[in-house]
């Protein structure tokens, strides 16, 4: 093994350390404090929304949105199948049922035609997943949701900085949830956010994310001693002020980080587009891709597992893409969704992060070219 290129790498440094130091000096390290409030304002503006709520992760942001929409046990929510199971889990946390539907073969997001066919009298909403960051078909989904009186929620875990027909991810549905996990385009290691133009929805979610009462900062500086009372079941879904301080720096850096990821994606396309054994990811003209991951599809006659092992042996980090949710045992027996199931078996994520050096990109491309041409990876 001549070198080691990780699958992903967070782009953090002295600016983020300085921001953490300021939080330490302030004495407010816990959740929902001054840094969180500042981050929420800045992130909402960057995502084209009027309000935001900092949360512990994307899954809790999805859950809070659904609670604020009024979800209850027995309801059904239509979910794009090709996603990390946090999407489906967030529906089940409220006692509702995720109804998984198949996806577009080109960009892997929920197929609007399949959504229409899955609606029943128990359907209350739709969760569209921006798979690896590229936005789903929100005009079509909005029309379906409006026609049937459903809410529409964007799972934008990977899509901070993406756009759809000139509009930023986060402004495309009734609400949107984002992730700041370590492999995302902007990161605090963990964390998430809920954004929406609906002030009542954000207000209700804010109450629920602090055990069902207003956050402590709302009582700071009062002349009396207010004692809140609990009238609604809530959760501890808060982001810490340490994470929020990191995220404030990351949001400022977002345009440059996106530019660097696009450079990597362009280089991969330049070096790999002629390779018959793989299919490169599609980037549609009416939306911008933030390239949270760079995911290739191996040809039907190629052993994906053998490719992955060979890449790792030569120092190239890789992994499968994401999950076909409907085949996961937790969700029980489900009708087969062939597009999602097929891609679940054939996707490989290869190294993608801001600052990935051109010679490392070339090494990944050359190694991948050698590996897929080898007889050892043919079925």
In 10 A of CB 170, how many CB atoms? 29
Burial of 130 (0-12, 13-18, 19+ CB in 10 A): buried
Cα separation, 251 vs 41, in Å, equals 11
Q: Per DSSP, which regions of 241-328 are E strands?
A: 278-279, 287-288, 294-298, 319-320
Q: Select which of 72, 165, 184, 207 is catalytic.
A: 184
Q: Strand 192-196: give its sheet, edge to edge.
A: 51-55, 192-196, 175-179, 151-155, 123-129, 76-80, 97-101
Beta strand pairing call for 347-350 and 319-320: antiparallel
Task: List CB contacts of 104: < 8 A, sequence separation 6 or more.
Answer: 110, 111, 137, 339
Task: Let me know: does 87 contact 100? Beta carbons within 8 Å.
Answer: no
Task: Let me know: does 31 contact 217? Beta carbons within 8 Å.
Answer: no
207 is catalytic: no
Task: Let me know: does 157 contact 9? Beta carbons within 8 Å.
Answer: no
Any idea which residues carry the catalytic annotation?
184
């Amino acid at each position: 093994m001549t070198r080691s290129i990780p699958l992903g790498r967070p782009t953090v440094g002295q600016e983020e350390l300085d921001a953490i130091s300021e939080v330490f000096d302030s004495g407010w390290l816990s959740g929902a404090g001054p840094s969180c409030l500042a981050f929420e304002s800045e992130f909402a503006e960057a995502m084209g929304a009027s309000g935001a709520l900092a949360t512990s992760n994307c899954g809790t942001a999805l859950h809070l949105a659904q609670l604020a929409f009024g979800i209850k046990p027995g309801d059904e929510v239509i979910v794009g199948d090709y996603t990390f199971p946090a999407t489906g889990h967030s529906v089940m946390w409220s006692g509702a049922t995720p109804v998984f539907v198949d996806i577009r073969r080109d960009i892997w997001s929920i197929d609007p035609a399949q959504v229409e066919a899955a609606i029943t009298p128990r359907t209350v909403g739709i969760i569209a997943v921006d798979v690896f960051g590229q936005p789903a078909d929100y005009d079509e989904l909005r029309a379906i949701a409006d026609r049937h009186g459903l809410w529409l929620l964007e799972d934008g875990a990977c899509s901070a900085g993406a756009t759809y027909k000139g509009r930023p991810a986060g402004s495309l549905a009734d609400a949107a949830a984002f992730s700041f996990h370590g492999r995302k385009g902007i990161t605090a290691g963990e964390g998430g956010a809920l954004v929406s133009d609906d002030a009542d929805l954000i207000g209700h979610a804010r109450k629920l994310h602090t055990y069902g009462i207003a956050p402590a900062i709302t009582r700071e500086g009062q002349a009396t001693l207010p004692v809140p009372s609990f009238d609604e079941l809530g959760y501890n879904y808060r982001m810490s002020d340490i994470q929020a301080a990191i995220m404030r720096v990351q949001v400022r850096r977002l345009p440059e980080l996106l530019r660097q990821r696009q450079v990597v994606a362009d280089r991969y396309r330049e070096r790999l587009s002629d390779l018959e054994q793989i299919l490169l990811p599609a980037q549609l003209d009416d939306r911008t891709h933030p390239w949270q991951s760079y995911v290739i599809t191996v040809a039907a006659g190629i052993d994906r597992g053998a490719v992955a092992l060979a890449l790792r042996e030569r120092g190239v980090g890789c992994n499968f893409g994401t999950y076909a949710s409907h085949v996961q045992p937790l969700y029980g027996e489900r009708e087969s969704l062939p597009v999602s199931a097929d891609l679940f078996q054939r996707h490989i994520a290869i190294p993608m992060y801001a600052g990935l050096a051109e010679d490392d990109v070339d090494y990944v491309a050359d190694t991948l070219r050698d590996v897929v041409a080898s007889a050892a990876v043919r079925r």
